[in-house]
Amino acid sequence: MSATPINPVEVDVRRAGAGGASDRPAPLDLDADLERVRKLAKLLDAQFSFAGIRFGWDGIIGLVPVIGDMATALVGVYPIHIARKHRFSKMLQWRMAGNLLIDWGVGGIPLLGDAFDVAFKANLKNLALLERAAAKRRARL
């Protein structure tokens, strides 16, 4: 019985997936993810305008007691997932989670919370944080 030699290309592929530098998501991945976060933030916080006030589905769905705010908070976790996927700092992720928790907590107060949802725009704030972190990363490369 003779052992089959290992192809050097196969060895490199196995090492790349073992947590090395090539395991980091590509910049193009980041651009595509940022575009999805932009669309989501606009949808949730600035899709519509009435009397000069921009608002989105977060303010509308939030009118449904308990379930509405919970649903928009769950959807709002997506940008935090993107920050984690691209290995942005824990501090950034905590700031984003804080914005979301404030939006969810105050948004749970009937009527006042709905007005707060429209004004606070946690998803646009999280988008801005994520874009700023991405710009800093690009500047370092």
Asked if 67 contacts 75 with a C-beta cutoff of 8 angstroms, the reply is: no
Alpha helices in 17-121 (DSSP H): 27-45, 57-61, 67-75, 78-85, 90-107, 112-120
Cα–Cα distance measured from residue 82 to residue 39, given in angstroms and rounded to the nearest whole number = 14
On average, the pLDDT of the chain sits at: 86
For 41-78, what is each residue's pLDDT tens digit? Answer: 999 999 999 999 999 999 999 999 889 999 999 999 99
Of the chain, the percentage scoring pLDDT greater than 90 comes to 70
Q: With 50 as the cut, is the pLDDT of residue 121 above it?
A: yes
**Predicted pLDDT of residue 98:** 98
CA distance 101 to 95: 10
More confident of the two residues 83 and 18 = 83
Residue 15, pLDDT score: 37
